[in-house]
Structure 1
Amino acid sequence: MDALINSLTESELELVRSTERDALAALDEDGLLELHDRVRRARNKYVKLYRRQAGAQVAESGGRGKANPVNQRNRDKAEVIEDALARVSRQLAVMAKASAAALKQERLASARRERNTAPRARRRPAARPPRRPASPPGPGQPRHAQAPGFQPWRGRPPPGRPRRPLRR
């Protein structure tokens, strides 16, 4: 791989060097987008060149297997540029994610400023009168029968009201 990188033209070598980690760290998001576009165009160029020449070579050599070694340099160039594109894409994704998080925080802060988000004051419930102590149950009655609001007919009709028939 190093032999291929050393045999690249000056413009190709400059493009690959601009995708190294130190060079990418110095770029902002717009610079990364521009570099990504340049590297993508170079990758497309070498992939098209490789495919076009490989297709023409198949007719001359009589098969894809025989035509493969003839076009090795173009395939290797396309692979080097593809690796460079992957590095730029990764760094661009990191920058875009950080930018999106910062934008989200900014929008949330703006929304908080524009509307009142102070917690509402809690209303205290009205003071209840003190409960009377329950009178002791009468003889033979359970203790809960004397509780206020006790309805002995709950679950069945009150006295004097007929039971409703079941609906079918």
Structure 2
Amino acid sequence: MAKVPKSLSEDEALLVRETRKTAMAELDEDDLLVLHSRIRKARNKYVKLYRRAGAKKVTEKGGRGAGKAANKQNFRKAEVFEDALARVSRRLAVVAEQTALELKQERLARARKDAPSFGGPDSDGKVPASGIARVDRTRESPGRKKYEASTIATGARRQAEKDSR
């Protein structure tokens, strides 16, 4: 980490110090997200100030090069916060990936525990019966009888029409 410029306020310097590896090592994903948003907010502030002040100084100084030289403090602060944001983003990516792997392992473990067992390697693949003989009872329902009678009648009409030709 580069030396923190003396132009940073005490609060800003503390915020940048929170992005050190040792400070971020004990943070979980939620804390890193909060830190990331705080750093991004500070970076956006100084980038915006740098751009606005630079635009004003172009008209005062007569050119973009001269305007840039007069606006170095905001540029340095924006650069410091950009570096800090990059550090937090990298750490957040690592922690998020670890969390995702842990959640995946938990989900797979739950799925294995909840999944039905299909027998061991010596199993013939058949599902053991519960003692009740399986019989197709749909043939006995009134709806099924009507459907089958209708199908038979349709076939008989079709055949009778062919026979009459």
Q: Same fold (TM over 0.5)?
A: yes
In 2, distance between residues paired with 1:117 and 1:104?
21
2:24 is the alignment partner of 1:24: yes
State the match for 1:137 in structure 2. none
In 1, distance between residues paired with 2:62 and 2:93?
44
In 1, distance between residues paired with 2:33 and 2:24?
11
State the match for 1:9 in structure 2. 9
Query: TM-score if structure 2 supplies the norm length?
Result: 0.70
- Letter of the aligned partner of 2:60 in structure 1? E
How far residue 7 of structure 1 moved from its aligned partner, in angstroms, is: 3.0
How far residue 105 of structure 1 moved from its aligned partner, in angstroms, is: 0.5
Q: Would the alpha carbon gap of residues 73 and 117 (structure 1) be closer, same or farther in structure 2, given more than 3 Å must change?
A: farther
State the match for 2:83 in structure 1. 83
Query: TM-score if structure 1 supplies the norm length?
Result: 0.69
How far residue 116 of structure 1 moved from its aligned partner, in angstroms, is: 2.1
In 2, distance between residues paired with 1:29 and 1:17?
18
How far residue 68 of structure 1 moved from its aligned partner, in angstroms, is: 1.2
2:54 is the alignment partner of 1:54: yes
CA deviations 1:15-74 (Å, max 9, x no partner) are 000000100002111111110010000000000000000000001111101111100111
2:45 is the alignment partner of 1:41: no
State the match for 1:114 in structure 2. 114
- Letter of the aligned partner of 1:82 in structure 2? E
CA deviations 1:82-138 (Å, max 9, x no partner) are 000000000000000000000001111111111125555344xxxxxxxxxxxxxxx
In 1, distance between residues paired with 2:99 and 2:84?
23
- Letter of the aligned partner of 1:26 in structure 2? E
Q: Number of aligned residue pairs: give it.
A: 123
Q: Give the 4+ runs in structure 1 shifted more than 6 A.
A: none
In 1, distance between residues paired with 2:89 and 2:104?
22
In 1, distance between residues paired with 2:94 and 2:76?
28
How far residue 78 of structure 1 moved from its aligned partner, in angstroms, is: 0.2
> Given that residues 47 and 78 in structure 2 are in contact (C-alpha distance below 8 angstroms), is that contact kept between their aligned partners in structure 1?
yes
Aligned-partner SS, 1:47: helix
Identical residues among aligned pairs (%): 54
Aligned-partner SS, 1:5: coil
